[in-house]
Amino acid sequence: MRTVVGILGVTHDPILQAQYHYPLALMEELIQEFSPQVICGEVHPKSWSLYLEKGNGAGILGETQGEYSQLIFPLCQNRGIEFVPIDWFEEDLFQMGPFDGFDAATQTQLREDLAGWNCRQRLTWDRGPIPFNCPDYDVVTEEMYEWLHHVNPEVQTIQWNVRHCIMMAGVKAALKANPGHRILCIHGADHNYWYHRTLKTQQDIDLIYPLR
C-alpha cells in the first residue's frame, strides 16, 4: 500500500476565515474527508510538548495558531490521529520583522508594498474549491516571498528558507516512519507552494493537492 500525502493550507486569522468563507467547520470537514492517520502540523515541538504536559495550546511564545488548540489537537486526540509537530524557529530570532534595519520612511513604503502583495494573493482566494489552495495563489505567494528575500535576504533566509528545509525534513521523517499511511500536512496557505514543490518529487507517495 502506497503512502498518501495531502496538503491543506489554511488562513490563521478568524477575520479572514469569515471573510473568505473558510471557517473551522470547513477545515474539520476537509480533515475528516481526507481521513488522515497522521497530521504534520505547523507547530514547534516544544509547543506540542507544552500542550501535552500542561494543556497550554498557545505555544512557547504564544505563536501557535488558534485552529490547533480549537480544532486539530482535540480532533487528533479524539480520533486517535498521530500528531507530528514539524515547525521550526530559533526563539531569539522569531520576532524579527521582514523590514528590520530600514529607516522609518522606508519601512512604511515596504509595508505598503507588502499590503499590495497580500491583496494580490487574496484576489485568488476563490479560484479553487478550497480557499487559498490553488496554483494561482501559490504563484503569487512564491513571487511575494522572492520579493521579500530581495528586500531583506538575511531575515528571509532564516525565517523562510531554512525554516522550510527543516520543516520538510520533519515531514519526510514522518513519511519514513509511517509507510502506507494517510498523512495530512496542515499549515498556513503561504507554505503550500513550498510543500507541493518538494513533495511532488517524492517517488514513493501519492500526493493530493488541492484536497478537492
- Judged against a pLDDT cut of 90, whether residue 111 lies above it is answered with yes
pLDDT in tens, 147-191: 999 999 998 999 999 999 999 999 999 999 999 999 999 999 999
pLDDT interval class at 134 (50, 70, 90): very high
* Cell reading at 148: 521579500
pLDDT in tens, 1-24: 899 999 999 999 999 999 999 999
Sign for the pseudo-dihedral over CA of 98, 100, 102, 107? positive
Three-state DSSP class for 211? coil
Predicted TM-score (pTM) of the model is 0.95
The full set of domain ranges for the chain reads 3-208
Give the chain's length: 212
pLDDT value, residue 91 = 79
pLDDT value, residue 192 = 98
- Judged against a pLDDT cut of 90, whether residue 92 lies above it is answered with no
Q: Is there a contact between 149 and 160 (Cβ–Cβ < 8 Å)?
A: yes
pLDDT value, residue 113 = 98
The one-letter amino acid code at 85 reads P
DSSP assignment of 33-85 equals: HH--SEEEES--HHHHHHHHHH---S-TTS-S-HHIIIIIHHHHHHHT-EEEE
- Judged against a pLDDT cut of 90, whether residue 93 lies above it is answered with no
